Amino acid sequence: MNFDEIIDRKQTNSMKWDALKERYKSDDLWPMWVADMDFKVPEVVQKALHNVTEHGVFGYHFPPASLREAIVEWMDKRFEWTIEQEDITFTPGVVPAIHQLISVLTEEGDGIIVQPPVYYPFFALVNTNRRTLLENDLVERNGTYEIDFNDLEEKMKSGAKMLILCNPHNPGGRMWNKEELTKIAVLAKQYDVIIVSDEIHSDITFRGNHVPFASLEAATDLQVATCMAPSKTFNLAALQLSYVISNQRELQQKLELSMRQNFTGIGNPYSSAAAEAAYREGEPWLTNLLAYVRDNIDYAEKRLKEEMPKIDFVDPDATYLLWMDFRQLGMDDQALQQWLREEARLALNDGHTFGKPGSGFARMNLACPRSHVEEGLNRLKQAYDRLQQP
């Protein structure tokens, strides 16, 4: 594995590289947006995919029991979380899964809590399902984010039916700890709130181990659906395989019925083979990936601190995303957006799309070769230096 290798992704219909014109009105920006990686998957995964191609038959498919077994083992090995194969429902993506969960577990008009700044599709998922969006803004403290539990309780008390938890949190990179998760569980029990826990980033962690919400003792009697996938971990997003873990059979049956009624397909020979190979044999690759990405983060943080002190950042516990705070530059969102595109020539994710508390921020993806990070920061520094000139 050579994470320094530059792989040309242009003209491969890559969202990150080939949708710049459509999204940013210019195709010569340096792409550090969409949350995928510019790295090749582990060799074992590529080999498994070759084997599927060699076999050459692509009839109707269902994800095999051996994949369920590999997932069960992964949960145990990575998080000391014991689940059963029957707890797994395959889904064609975490966003589609959350959409189905909202539609089957809540009614039109019901309140659903999200915690901005947060992964922006959560807003659309609540709104397109015609549920009521309840925003429990995170609080910034000591350069990181915390949950405002008083406000969370208020929101739950006001009749919220569901909380979409993002753990680890995108874009702030927080791994919610046992104590915080337990507090959420206690409140959810008190006010009868369903928890949809999006844990898609749970393998990309730098400080200790991720704690699955549903693994907590305090979550035992709650209605919890945990959404996970190999897509962020092993760069398999295009294969569209994810899964919901829940030991609540009624919840699971509702989800599965809804997927059937919506003619939602699940998996194909490629996604099953890739996911199983990754979970069974991809851990050494992941260990190296985490070290490489953490070095990228340290490098970016050092350069920001030393060369661009007015650009602050949240040091992530998890995720390969750096949440950068440009507020000291004194620009409104439109001016910041324009400056990043026209002066820095960078394609980042604009902070305000993650909700109001994201105003003045932007998200930079650091899952790329070091030279790509260097170029991105060089561009940012040139624009920054021009701003500082009288």
Ligand X SMILES: Cc1ncc(COP(=O)(O)O)c(C=O)c1O
**Total number of residues binding ligand X (CB under 6 A)?**
13
Cβ nearer to ligand X, comparing 171 with 282: 171
Residues sharing a CB contact under 8 Å with residue 299, sequence separation 6 or more, in sequence order: 370, 373, 374
When CB distances to ligand X are compared, the closest residue is 93
Which x/- pattern over 171-210 shows residues binding ligand X (rule: CB under 6 A)?
A: ---------------------------x-x----------
- Is 242 or 252 the residue whose CB approaches ligand X more closely? 242
Q: Does 349 bind ligand X (CB under 6 A)?
A: no
Q: Of residues 7-66, which lie at the interface with ligand X (CB under 6 A)? A: 35
Of positions 170, 205, 233, 235, contacts ligand X by CB under 6 A: 170
Closer residue to ligand X (CB): 214 or 308: 214
Q: What stretches of 106-237 show up as alpha helix (H) in DSSP?
A: 121-128, 149-157, 178-191, 231-234
Q: Tell how far CA 327 is from the center of its chain.
A: 24
Q: Which stretch binds ligand X (CB under 6 A): 46-54, 90-98, 128-136, 365-373?
A: 90-98
Q: Does 95 bind ligand X (CB under 6 A)?
A: yes
Q: How far is the CB of 165 from ligand X (least distance, A)?
A: 10
Q: How far is the CB of 161 from ligand X (least distance, A)?
A: 20
CA atoms within 13 A on the CB side of 236: 35
- In sequence order, the 6+-apart residues with CB closer than 8 A to the CB of 36 are 15, 16, 235, 237, 365, 367
Q: What is the DSSP letter of 318?
A: B
**Shortest separation between residue 16's beta carbon and ligand X, angstroms:** 11
Report d(CA 324, CA 313) in Å as an integer.
4
Residue 30: phi, psi to the nearest 5?
-85, 115
Q: What is the DSSP string of 84-135?
A: -GGGEEEES-HHHHHHHHHHHHS-TT-EEEE-SS--THHHHHHHHTTPEEEE
3-state SS assignment for residue 373: helix
Toward ligand X, which CB reaches closer, 93 or 116?
A: 93
Lookup result for tokens 């949960």: 75
**Cα dihedral value 136, 218, 196, 230, nearest 10:** 120
197 membership: H or E segment, kind and range: strand 194-198
Q: How near is the Cβ of 314 to ligand X at its closest, in Å?
A: 15
Least distance in angstroms from the C-beta of 200 to ligand X: 4
Q: Is 117 in the site for ligand X (CB under 6 A)?
A: no
Residue closer to ligand X by CB (options 308, 366) is 366
Rg value, the chain, Cα: 21
The DSSP element (H or E) to which 175 belongs, if any, is none
Closest distance between ligand X and the C-beta of residue 96, in Å?
A: 6
Q: Which of 31, 42, 63, 93 touches ligand X by CB under 6 A?
A: 93
Restricting to residues 211-270, name those near ligand X by CB under 6 A. Answer: 229, 231, 237, 242
> Which range in 67-75, 76-84, 88-96, 250-258 contacts ligand X by CB under 6 A?
88-96
Residues found near ligand X in the complex (CB under 6 A): 35, 93-95, 119, 166, 170, 198, 200, 229, 231, 237, 242
